Structure 1
């Protein structure tokens, strides 16, 4: 009886304080998650307020919160959704997560943390908070194409977070073991995932369809919670996180096709226990961490905000979104949340990390989450400012690059698709084999050295040198294969946008083709190199691998910068031809609305002309005042007024009635430009 009274007293205190703080944060238009964390700090042991609760009871309830929270995320995740967003959001997320893993690792090592602690730190800051981002967009009333991109990235990030939750225990088990033990741990993990997912795909959707035919919501609720707990318990018994099991359970139930109904059914239970989970997070937060680890806290806050912004922005731009869209997406995802707590908590619970990591994760999350609404609101202004002060050659490149990628996304011939798929597959195989050889050799170097000493009676250093030489000999062909595939894939993708001219004919697309090729190669290097750096850094000397990667990026960067200079000259030449064509058409009183690319220099895309009619909003204003490129992503390459023309405007030219503007950009950018230029006062 006393235990029941103690349980009810603690639960009443937790939910009562959480209700008050959640109400206050809702009125202040802040994420209620922060209110729950504040409630945990109030009832926790580190703040001298006489409202302390039994941490064991709250911890047990918080485990249920983790299960329901991850189960709900699993319901929103499905293989269908993943496959749909993978070609774009998958590439963005891979670049961003790998970049953050690497940044977190090298920062941890700089602070003197162990390899495994540093890797956990990288994993902790790699994943944004789905809960916080969705809530922030909902409260701000934002729903546009940027929102769609952000949510697509979050779907893939959730998937990567689950892979980290599954893989980190294997890494922890192998830190003092041989390469054979590491391979065994990975093999066990793969077998567990394959078995559970295969069996679940066969059984769970069928069970749910049978239960839902009864049309009894309470029975359905009991069944789905029972299945969720069963798979979570199985994961726990196998030595993995209950969060992994809960997410798998949710994603398997999503395959039934009724995930919307199931999510509605589970939502009240999830919200209740999720609140307790975030309260428990606040209880474990020690405010003195600000004093003891102020430097690491400050640096990790900067890493999350700046690193995530750069990683997401660069990745989003590379897959074909404009500058404004990319910057807004990057700023929207520059925070961490629930997965960071789970990863850091798992590291502390397994003894892989020191106890300092969890309060560090909470502190970074609180500060970056508080700033999230302001970052999202101000992202449009920041994007316009960046575009305004960007060098002219980069402004020209960013506009044209979006049009090139838009053309690349168009349906290709079967032969072209086959060549691209073949090169991509070869690149994947070479990367996997190269990584496997390097990791296998490093993990087994000590065993290999001892056997060489026994077999051929050599001292340790020569035996170790032979082992390293054997590794280099085995890995070199695959390393060369990676370089050749990246080189060939860049040229093959570019050829889909700007086909090569036949031999003997003048090739007018040399400049745009060169800069597009090197940009695609740069993107592929990031896509392959960053995950390699991130995943091998606990085993490979990070300085040398990072140095090689930096040299490759610097070389491609120099080639890219020279290419943008040549592209700018190419655009000027094309703009002069456009001005001449528009002037001639005006003399003949025949207006041209679209100038196909094949009528002048290739690589500029189709150029649209817009005449400023009386009453247009743009009359009397400059392009800089309108911020046309910053708002729409389109670029004005020429302006004609009568027989006079301006080639590649600087933005300071004042627009007049009757001016004809030659604009290039994506279809969406051109549509927005027309609305902006021809809008009425």
Structure 2
């Protein structure tokens, strides 16, 4: 009989156990992650009822591969572009939650008598919520279109980045075994440097490569290329001292900006599911049931700390950032669990041998309990809001409402702010690129040239020349480029500020010269570097025009690659009117839907459900501000404006009543929820909504007006515009902007 390696028999046992528990948990409508953990517990070394895995070392390797693909997949869903677009409210909520849970975790560990390292890792484990569990719960409960869900998704995006930072910081702390502030700062700076460098290089190179090779790629080759890029970044991250998982996450986030992102995500999902299952089974294998019994008290305490701490910190963060009481409570009750990243942080502590054996199973047990409670917490959020609202004094509620309203201000950007922000961003970006080029040259290019091609000083000169060719466009951009010429020109027109502009310009040039010296100092003495620096500056000045043209081509390609993947319609339409609890959401009209075939006047959408149908998308056409006689077809996408309750009622109506199709012919336009301020010389001033012709001028629909501190949702057409009114319009952003800038005729 042929002998099978233990790796094959162990893998067979793991997948059989995972398959059976998956079916059971599917039937029970419970998260599969929990099923995998229980499968690992059953085939692990601590339970003798079933055959056990024989060589856990091999499974550990498979589990590490599972972590890599799990984080690669999370990176594909993450996208740095999404992070930039996350609202200030979500960022504030996420950061407050992470800080609060880090402190609560640490002090809970200390109260339980645990050592410092266990307490610190416990704080890290409790600070990150589970993206997978929350998304699944939102889908099952049908609340993805609610306003608070958008805030929660933003919180999860910020948390993903914080989790990566925590992995780096905890690794540094584990190695140094002390709170060395300089080491921590160095680790953060190193992470920021390489994140920015890899992102810039990745966006410049990878989308171009995928685009040019697209004719050669079918599903098979695209999968192979994507996994190759993932593992290449894993190796690169390990080379510079980061965890392999970080490299996988970064490559995923780079590929998320390409036009192939969705296809790659689809192709990789099966690979991720396979290795992810092995990872979570291996998590279960490390759990000793006896440990869970011994630590039942700490598990119960940590579970309560997680549920209460996360709910309160996110709710508090929401209120601080200007969200309404209801939205804040709903958000806080949604994120009260720990998940994927918590397992990875716990695994890190075990791998580095800095945490006690009991911490890992405790973390898994808390995750299991909080996973079960998540749907119930979300369901309880609205009743809890009503109770809190009833308990709070009227003065407090009025103050919260006023504060929430005050958070909605129109921000104006001064010329100085524009110029300074541009200077700082350019300085950071070009400095990172230049330092990266010099480091690559010194570490790889110079040894290759001097050892393989040309020896001695001549080899150093050749290396310097090649490096300067790559540095030149970024040196020019750092020293000369003016992306905000108009704003700077307006500042220059004021003689009082000219000296400051001169200082800024001189500072840029000095920094560029210092970078040239930094390059030369890698290969030559200080004296030679000093003299050579002036010669190089002269050469760069002579070829300035060519360098400028080269840089513009580089910037154009980078921006084209960065914007290759258009923002999805759902994300584009996701705006809210805080604190009115009214927002814009979209519905696809299914073929069997009840509303298909009727026009809006027949359906009486506004009269019956209190919502406005602001836009209808039909194929490649967009029907802006549809009239009452507009009919609805199967396949139409309706953008509906209303409160959570109104939208939920309308959703039920769509699912239960009937209607056929019709036509809508308009050029497709961008659609958004925009705000317009009525100024002293505005053409809207002292006109009624009907007289102003806003619908015709913007192809839009007025859905709200804020007037003298009062808010009017779906205002009457006889309402008169006054100076200072804030008008909310669903329509074409460019047309709304033009209307806001239109002035009365003299």
The TM-score normalised by the length of structure 2 is 0.55
Whole-Å Cα distance in 2 between the matches of residues 405 and 28 of structure 1? Answer: 44
In structure 1, the residue matched to 2:413 is: 414
2:105·2:122 contact (CA, 8 Å) conserved in 1?
A: yes
Tell which deviates more after alignment, 62-71 or 238-247: 238-247
For 1:120, the equivalent position in structure 2 comes to 121
1:82 shift after superposition: 0.4
Match of 1:85 in 2: 86
Q: Using the alignment, how far apart are the partners of 1:296 and 1:663 within structure 2?
A: 54
Give the corresponding residue for 1:213.
215
- Matched residue, 2:41: 41
| 1:19 alignment counterpart | 19
- CA separation of 1:313/1:177 partners in 2, compared to 1, >3 Å: closer, same or farther? closer
The residue aligned with 1:487 is none
Corresponding residue SS for 2:368: helix
Deviations 1:344-367 (A, max 9, x none): 110111122222211111011001
Contact 1:96–1:312, Cα closer than 8 Å, also in 2: yes
* Contact map agreement 1:232 1:243 (CA 8 A) in 2: yes
Query: Greater RCO between the two (CA within 8 Å, min separation 6)?
Result: 1
Work out the CA distance in 1 between the residues paired with 2:38 and 2:312. Answer: 30
**In the alignment, which residue of structure 2 is the partner of 1:488?**
none
* Residue 398 of structure 1: how far off its partner (Å): 2.2
Partner Cα separation in structure 2 for residue 669 and residue 104 of structure 1: 47
Partner Cα separation in structure 2 for residue 617 and residue 188 of structure 1: 54
The 5 A counterparts of 1:628-643 are none
Structure with greater helix percent:
1
> Secondary structure of 1:23's match?
helix
C-alpha distance in structure 2 between counterparts of 1:3 and 1:227, whole Å: 36
Which residue does 2:141 correspond to in 1?
140
The question of whether the paired residues in 1 share the 8 Å contact of 2:319 and 2:328 is answered with yes
| Residues 83 and 158 in structure 2, CA contact (< 8 A), matched pair in contact too | yes
Q: What secondary structure, in the 3-state scheme, does the structure 2 residue paired with 1:256 have?
A: coil
Say if 2:168 and 2:242, in contact at 8 Å, map to a contact too: yes
Question: How much does 1:16 deviate?
Answer: 1.6
| 1:144-155 aligned within 5 A | 144-155=146-157
CA contact (8 A) 1:36 1:275 kept: yes
- Cα deviation for residue 181 of structure 1 reads 5.5
Whole-angstrom CA distance in 2 between matches of 1:403 and 1:208? 46
Q: After superposing the two structures, state which structure 1 stretch, 112-121 or 88-97, moved more.
A: 112-121
Confirm whether residue 57 of structure 1 aligns to residue 72 of structure 2.
no
Q: Distance in 2 between matches of 1:177 and 1:317?
A: 33
Q: Is residue 104 of structure 1 aligned with residue 105 of structure 2?
A: yes
CA contact (8 A) 2:169 2:188 kept: yes
Structure 1 residues 271 and 630: CA distance shift in structure 2, 3 A = closer
1:202 is aligned, of 204, 207, 219, to: 204
SS in 2 for 1:334: coil
Map 1:518-537 to 2 at 5 A: none
Q: CA deviation at 1:25?
A: 1.4
Shift of 1:65: 1.3
1:197-223 CA-to-partner distances (Å, cap 9, x unmatched) read 443333322222233332411001001
Moved more, 348-357 or 244-253: 348-357
Q: CA deviation at 1:162?
A: 0.8
Mapped to 1, the partners of 2:181 and 2:154 lie a distance apart of 36
Q: Which residue does the alignment assign to 1:169?
A: 171
Would you say the 8 A contact 2:169–2:184 is kept in 1? no
TM norm structure 1? 0.59
Q: How does 1:134-533 map to 2 (within 5 A)?
A: 134-143=135-144, 144-176=146-178, 188-406=190-408, 408=409, 410=410, 412-415=411-414, 418=417
> Counterparts of 1:107 and 1:380 in 2: how far apart (Å)?
29
Bigger drift between 174-183 and 358-367 goes to 174-183
- Is the Cα–Cα contact under 8 Å of residues 168 and 187 in structure 2 kept in the other structure? no
| Inter-CA distance 187–663: structure 2 relative to 1 (3 Å threshold) | closer
Deviation of the 1:240 alpha carbon: 2.7
CA distance in 1, matches of 2:375, 2:352: 35
Whole-Å separation in 2 of the counterparts to 1:244 and 1:665:
49
Distance of 1:164 and 1:364 partners within structure 2: 20
Cα deviations by residue, 1:43-101 (Å, 9 ceiling, x for unpaired): 11222322211322322221121111100110111121001104221111111111111
Aligned mates of 1:670, 1:4 — CA distance in 2: 75
Query: Quick check: 2:307–2:370 contact (8 Å CA) kept in 1?
Result: yes
Q: Partners of 2:198 and 2:82 in 1: how far apart?
A: 20
Task: Assess if the C-alpha contact under 8 Å between 1:403 and 1:666 holds in 2.
Answer: no
Cα distance change on mapping 1:395 and 1:193 into 2, 3 Å: closer
How far does residue 320 in structure 1 lie from its aligned partner after superposition? 2.1
CA shift in 2, pair 1:113/1:104, >3 Å: same
CA distance in 1, matches of 2:268, 2:200: 24
- 1:664–1:670 contact (8 Å) kept in structure 2: no
Kept in 1, the 8 Å contact 2:101–2:309? The answer is yes
CA distance in 2, matches of 1:163, 1:65: 20
**Take 2:228 and 2:2, find their aligned partners in 1: how far apart are those partners?**
29
Match of 1:6 in 2: 6
1:146-195 deviation line (CA, Å, top 9, x unaligned): 22111111111101101111222122222259666556555554554454
1:665–1:156 Cα change, 3 Å: farther
Say if 2:130 and 2:337, in contact at 8 Å, map to a contact too.
Answer: yes
| Cα separation, partners in 2 of 1:276 and 1:96, compared to 1, 3 Å | same
Q: What's the RMSD between the two structures over aligned residues?
A: 3.3
Q: Could you tell me which residue of structure 2 aligns to residue 448 of structure 1? A: none
Find the residue that maps to 1:231 and give its secondary structure: helix
Partner-residue secondary structure (3-state), 1:371: helix
Matches within 5 A, 1:661-680: none
| Distance of 2:134 and 2:714 partners within structure 1 | 26
Give ranges in structure 1 of 5+ residues lacking alignment.
426-603, 606-614, 619-628, 633-661, 672-681
Residues paired across the two proteins, number: 440
Q: Name the SS of the counterpart of 1:142 in structure 2.
A: coil
